[in-house]
Amino acid sequence: MITFEDIEDFSSFIATTPEELPSRVLYILEQGLGGYRRGDYLTALEKGAEWLFEYTSKHQPLTGDILSKGKLFLYGRPAERWDKTNPNDDYYFNCGLEINNFILGVYRSPIGRNPDDANYRDNIEKGNVNLTKKWGKPTVCEERHLSLPFEISQSYYGRFDGLNIPESPAQGIYTRLLPFPIKRPWQSIDGYLSKLRLKKKLELLHEWFPDCQPKRKSDPYNKLMIFLDTRPTLSGKEGDVFFVKNHIQDGVIYYIRDGDIDNLMVLIEPVEAIDKYCHHVLMRREGRFDFMPYASRFEG
């Protein structure tokens, strides 16, 4: 975890309102400049944490209460090096939220590309939601948040894209302990099993979820993806891992405890369980949160 002091040491600016932003950063955000469209952080700064976490407070009251009272800010500094083909991308910045003496990373997509935005559905239908390019061609990000129960989807993906507990002010692509941002992608189930040397267990998943296999053997299992990994270092067997189906978006959350895929479980009270777990993390409670009162054995 990092603190506000770490942010101060790293940054050339810290702004809690658009008026406090360096003129160059404000211009980049207003114009959507850079190698990719910047997130709509101006709206977040203008409306504040209470607005940003409104749905979290509604559906996840323990977690939402903490988040909505946090200090929301944008921070960063001029980029020392950047892609010369995108000379407008000359500032490095992130959105942070200070709570309980540590910093959360908060991601927000460009305006019109957050599910709560008025024209989001039009952009989905036009294939404009994700501007990430793969092999030079635009790709559309799957609406993976719809695989979750509505309350969880709206709480963590309606106005922002998941949360992060960064290990450095630069943040990077890796996310820890809280619901993963979709655009800092969820992990496919085969990737998780492979790191534990349990890839042979995919045969079980083929039995339980007959349509889960990718068309090509070399492709990841994007139909079964992890949205929450409670292992502090995202490694090893010990910890609770949760995945959903993306090809059948029925809101069922599957639970693997300590790498024991043979005894797969499901969350029976997922909304309450995720709220209490996130509250446990944000309050920096000691020990491991117990999901077992909210779990039942998967019957296949």
SS3 189: helix
Contacts of 254 (CB under 8 A, 6+ apart): 242, 243, 244, 264, 265, 266, 298
Contact between 228 and 250 (Cβ < 8 Å): no
Contacts of 114 (CB under 8 A, 6+ apart): 40, 108, 120, 158, 159, 160, 161
Task: Give the residues of the chain that fall short of pLDDT 70.
Answer: 33-37, 81-89, 127-142
Report the sign of the C-alpha dihedral through residues 184, 70, 64, 255, in that order.
positive
Contact between 225 and 243 (Cβ < 8 Å): yes
Q: What DSSP designation does 283 have? A: T
Contact between 231 and 256 (Cβ < 8 Å): no
Contact between 296 and 268 (Cβ < 8 Å): yes
* CA-to-CA separations, 187 to 203, 222, 249, 261, 299, in angstroms, rounded: 18, 8, 17, 16, 24
pLDDT of 210 reads 92
> Rounded to an integer, what distance in angstroms lies between the CA atom of residue 201 and that of residue 210?
14
Contact between 90 and 38 (Cβ < 8 Å): no
253-293 confidence digits (pLDDT tens): 999 999 999 999 999 999 999 999 999 999 999 999 999 99
pLDDT of 83 reads 52
Q: pTM to 2 decimals?
A: 0.90
SS3 242: strand
Give the phi and the psi of residue 271 in degrees, each rounded to 5.
-65, -50
According to DSSP, the residues that pair with 297 across neighbouring strands are 265
Helices and strands (H and E) in the chain: how many: 10, 13
pLDDT of 127 reads 65
pLDDT of 125 reads 74
pLDDT of 261 reads 96
